Structure 1
Amino acid sequence: MIILLKPKIVILGAGYAGLMTLTRLQKTINVNEAEIILVNKHDYHYETTWLHHAAAGTLHHDRVRFNINNLIDRNKVKFIQGTVVEINTDKKKVRLENDEVSYDYLVVALGGESETFGIKGLKEHSFAIVSVNAARKIRNHIEYQFATYHTAGEKTEDKLTIVVGGAGFTGMEFLGEMTDRIPKLCRDYDIKENQVKFICVEATDSPLTGFDTDLVSYAMAYLEGRGVQFKLNTEIRECTPGGVIIQSGDEQEEIKARTVIWSAGIRGSTVIDRSGFEAKRGRVVVQPDLRAPGLDNVFIIGDCSIVLNKKDQYEYPPTAQIAMQQGITCANNLSKLIRKKADLETFVPNIRGSVCSLGENNAIGIVYGKKLFGPKALFMKKVIDNRALYMMGGASLVFKKGKLNLFG
């Protein structure tokens, strides 16, 4: 009797791209067609686009994550909780900190990491909103600064100064949440609101680079009205234990601040670099079907991938929207490969729009080409967030974790 071994599909990472690949794949193949293994550092998935809520303390950190096991079909999927160290594509093996996994087909969806661009002291003395634990650390740190402000010998202005490096989506959304949180912190710790300083340092001439100028002007005016100071065309040259040194033109200035949030750079996983892939800052330019160049059995998706627009070689931004769409295409192509079909799908992003929240009561966005301000944009932001949950875990996940109050 001949026993045919099932091909082994290993998925590294349970972010938007990896989890979407998994949930689609387990729906489209039967238990006899393939063995699926998911490897992830934690036993939970977290909504990266919600981390700014947890970092500011406007949403409990448990609200931004959910257990992976609740989405897995145990008859088809084995979950390994572990940290990926290196990928050996020649031997078709993945080395973990305490284990090793072999594969026939591999999906690399390890997500992104903070990129400091070599700025002195940034890695040691700033915070980045890159994970649930990082967000909790930021929230606790800020609250500690307020709680100890009146302590003898500690009453200094820098304890109430928050510097945000970068005015992209993460930076702007965090600022919006913090301007919501500050009134409560001030009441709790007997601090006047005008003592708190928000300074956003942006290297370009505008927040949300490349976004619609009317929407950017609206967002900037709104946040400035809530006390945020923008320093545009200004770079952070160094981060110190006591603040940052910034430069605009030929002039340098020191800003004393106990809290520095870096949100101006994301790169792919360092595992990509260690594993010998040809990459740029941990990101690989993938083939149209999302496979790595020269490797017919390795897909790279999410923050570790670069997808080029065929017409002008434009790099699509590494957004959650694109990552989830990549996951769907990746699952479809894996199904075709294990069924020996050659007509793999070409990944074509469908950019429906982008929405940037500005706190609990405001937002801006473009959806299907239409500009949205205020309540309409905020409504659409919640719809988008709920839709992402639905695509990964269905209606039950939306009811457990979703933003159900769409109008407030």
Structure 2
Amino acid sequence: MDVLVLGSSYAGLATVHKLRKFLKDINITIISKSRIVRENTIFPLLLTNDIYIKDTEFDAKNVVESKGVNFIEGEVLEIYPNSREVKTNKGIYDYDYLFLALGGGYEENFRKIPGNEYAVMHHTLEGFLRLKDLLYKSEGNIFVGNAKSSPIEGPSYQVALISEYILRRRGVKSKVYLSTQSPKGIFGNIPNEEVISKANSYFKKRGIEVLAGKTVKEIKKDRVVLSDGTEIEAEVKSILPALSAPETVKRSELVDDSGFVNVSLPSFRKDERIFGLGDLAKTPLPRTARNAMISAENAVSTLLKDLRGVSLPMYGLGVLCVMEGGDDGGIFRMEKGKAFLEFDRHFITIKKMYSRMLVRSGFDMPFHGAPHI
């Protein structure tokens, strides 16, 4: 039996680890553009020199080949569900079961924002390194925000907090603006008014001006145009785009009108042979690294039950966000409708420890603090 995994980030590697743990007699192949994988949830700490690039990366090829898994460093070009084939620049690969873990089309969607050349995207390593350079040189205002339908705002919150911290340390009196998709502001889309009020009060205390209910429409050289027509003068603009499945997945006709792969929850199964994981799966909750690994856990458990009759726990999706804020930090968690928010510098230490564990294990971290369902 041949199992093919496309992508070697959180969902892809978590899939491989669990498959090999329970299925020693199958052929597993993982295809990835690069053998070097980075733990990107810790990237905001690159801005403050709390971590360095080497702390975020590992060689995925070495990790999986030590477990008897085939690693192909190549680019996925086309997916053919009807013939169960995947075309790459290294050849064509057949499969019995396919796990789609190619992530979301961040770069593709960022390029669709008018004037994107005047901004950085705080998602890729290159984006964070460019942002770092700008933050330590700029004397002007900083704008941080999301385009309409962006899937997650937590990184933007962190970048805004760290930007304020860097400007304060440099003695620069410029403004930091943060736009949110919800008209209620920070964490405004959750059903907990106490948490929303606490979060907005904290950002106000830090001197960050929250532009609630406004998304990025266009970027100009010296300003940002928001969805309501407001123009914000800013020298540095850091944006997260809208998200969808990558174009390669879209061409395979595996996505619906939402731009994502429509899967059944909690199994993340697209059909009998295909599972859609992580950022490219259609889910009601933010697309986070934690939820990506949970999607892999649930998908493999589903396949194990089908093939071997093995019953393993299934996990519920939720939100767990540890915010790095320069000289302070915070944690937000929401599970089964209950929300919790606290601010303390110690949460950054916890985040660094967990990130180090992720890197050292090659994303082989079966415990995600998620409830069983």
What TM-score does the superposition give when structure 2 sets the normalisation length? 0.81
- 1:131 alignment partner, one of 124, 129, 132: 124
What is the distance in 1 between the residues matched to 2:363 and 2:289? 21
- Aligned-pair identity in percent equals 19
Call closer, same or farther: CA 1:209–1:86 in 2, change over 3 Å.
Answer: farther
**Counterpart residue type for residue 323 of structure 1:** A
Call closer, same or farther: CA 1:80–1:396 in 2, change over 3 Å.
Answer: closer
C-alpha deviation, 1:392, in angstroms = 7.5
Matched pairs, number: 354
Contact 2:330 2:347 in 1 (8 A): no
- 2:261 alignment partner, one of 263, 273, 284: 284
Match of residue 198 from structure 2: 218
What is the distance in 2 between the residues matched to 1:66 and 1:200? 33
Instruction: For 1:286-325, list aligned pairs within 5 A.
Output: 286-288=263-265, 289-292=267-270, 295-307=271-283, 315-325=284-294
C-alpha deviation, 1:388, in angstroms = 6.7
Instruction: For 1:4-403, list aligned pairs within 5 A.
Output: 7-30=1-24, 33-54=25-46, 58-74=50-66, 76-114=68-106, 121-143=114-136, 145-146=137-138, 160-166=140-146, 168-184=153-169, 186=170, 192-194=171-173, 196-205=174-183, 206-211=185-190, 212-246=192-226, 248=228, 252-263=229-240, 265-288=242-265, 289-292=267-270, 295-307=271-283, 315-337=284-306, 340-341=307-308, 347-349=314-316, 351=318, 353-366=320-333, 369=338, 371-375=340-344, 379=346, 382-383=349-350, 386-387=353-354, 390=357, 393-394=360-361
Residue 176 of structure 1 aligns to a residue in which SS?
helix
Call closer, same or farther: CA 1:9–1:393 in 2, change over 3 Å.
Answer: farther
Contact 1:53 1:174 in 2 (8 A): no
What is the distance in 2 between the residues matched to 1:266 and 1:107? 20
Contact 1:84 1:95 in 2 (8 A): yes
C-alpha deviation, 1:208, in angstroms = 1.9
C-alpha deviation, 1:300, in angstroms = 0.9
Call closer, same or farther: CA 1:173–1:302 in 2, change over 3 Å.
Answer: same
Q: Which runs of 5+ in 2 are unaligned?
A: 147-151, 366-373
**Counterpart residue type for residue 131 of structure 2:** I
Contact 1:23 1:392 in 2 (8 A): no
Contact 1:326 1:347 in 2 (8 A): no
Give CA-to-partner distance per residue, 1:188-211, whole Å, 9 cap, x none.
xxxx421x3211123432122224
C-alpha deviation, 1:373, in angstroms = 1.8
What is the distance in 1 between the residues matched to 2:290 and 2:364? 18
C-alpha deviation, 1:324, in angstroms = 1.2
Match of residue 405 from structure 1: none
What is the distance in 2 between the residues matched to 1:304 and 1:46? 19
What is the CA RMSD across the aligned residues, in angstroms? 3.3
What TM-score does the superposition give when structure 1 sets the normalisation length? 0.75
Residue 284 of structure 1 aligns to a residue in which SS?
coil
Call closer, same or farther: CA 1:139–1:96 in 2, change over 3 Å.
Answer: farther
Residue 105 of structure 2 aligns to a residue in which SS?
strand
C-alpha deviation, 1:258, in angstroms = 3.0
What is the distance in 1 between the residues matched to 2:362 and 2:96? 33
Residue 331 of structure 1 aligns to a residue in which SS?
helix
Contact 1:125 1:260 in 2 (8 A): yes
